[in-house]
Amino acid sequence: MASIEERAIHRLNDGIWSLERDSIAVESVLSIDIKSPSKLERWVSILRTPGNDEALIRGLIHSEGVMTENADFQIVLGETSATILVADESYHIAARGRISNGSACGICGRQDFSDLLNMAHQCELSQFNIDNEIIVNLPNSMKESQVAFSSTGGIHAAALFTSEGEMLLMMEDIGRHNAVDKVIGQAIISDIEMHNCILCLSGRIGSELVLKAAAAKISVIIAVGAASSMAIDLAREAGITLYGFTRDGSSVSYNRPIAQ
């Protein structure tokens, strides 16, 4: 399934409507089941931009703590569905409540918020130095690779960088948290150690994105948009350094360690 499709639109310019074709970001349901030797059960149905579905699922599994680190499982992909085949019953899908959500929020609808941070690995507060020029230029470096956004204007992006500013990988999705899951999942597939990496975001920093970064042991987040109050609080607890409003040569740090 394509991630972009052409649709007929009417465009208003200088008071005149004209019929044109435009590129539209595809939003499609992906239903994910877990099949063990004894049962088959629905885990989650999400809205996402098709493409890199295995990375998305692996990132979501990691962020949610569904499997143990050495769990034996396979992912069978369909166009609108996927099945995770597990060798035994060593998985748990109710730790934070089953998810059934759209593409806007990664923690909306959960049954229990009390132990959100406990589900993630705590990071050591980032002590590696990041040059100021690298901080302000990362979003521009990411934007140069945002092909889907350039075509549609409706796609979020997330990217993983080294502390020297080298982009390791970048993913796009209509859901900002899906883009992060795709990045984390692809890093796992590619055996990339994330603890000394920077997560760059095209939008705001929400609490759900901080939790995903913490679960992946990512200790620095740089974003084009602002951070929410809960994101700042969770980042401080997890030891994650946040940089927001990173654009036009400037940035805001919400918890920059003195060692930097």
Q: Within its chain, how far is the Cα of 64 from the centroid?
A: 12
The pLDDT score that the predictor gives to residue 255 is: 82
| One pLDDT digit (tens) per residue for the chain, 260 residues | 899 999 999 999 999 999 999 999 999 999 999 999 999 999 999 999 999 999 999 999 998 888 877 788 999 999 999 999 998 877 776 544 444 455 445 455 454 444 556 655 555 555 667 899 999 999 999 999 888 888 888 899 999 999 999 999 999 999 999 999 999 999 999 999 999 899 999 999 999 999 999 999 999 999 999 999 999 999 988 889 999 999 999 999 998 655 44
The pLDDT score that the predictor gives to residue 96 is: 42
The pLDDT score that the predictor gives to residue 259 is: 47
Q: Which fold has domain 132-253?
A: Cytidine Deaminase; domain 2 (3.40.140)
Q: Is 123 one of the catalytic residues?
A: no
The pLDDT score that the predictor gives to residue 111 is: 44
| Terminal-residue alpha carbon distance, the chain | 45
Q: Find tokens 């970064």 and name the residue.
A: 213
The pLDDT score that the predictor gives to residue 122 is: 55
User: What type of residue sits at position 89?
Assistant: E
Instruction: Delimit the domains of the chain by residue range.
Output: 28-119, 132-253
Q: Cβ(90)–Cβ(67) under 8 Å?
A: yes
CA distance 132 to 181: 27
Q: Which residues of 80-93 are buried (b: 16+ CB within 10 A; e: fewer)?
A: eebbbebeeeebeb
Q: Cβ(81)–Cβ(29) under 8 Å?
A: no
Q: Which candidate in 105, 108, 123, 200 is catalytic?
A: 105
The pLDDT score that the predictor gives to residue 100 is: 47
The pLDDT score that the predictor gives to residue 28 is: 96
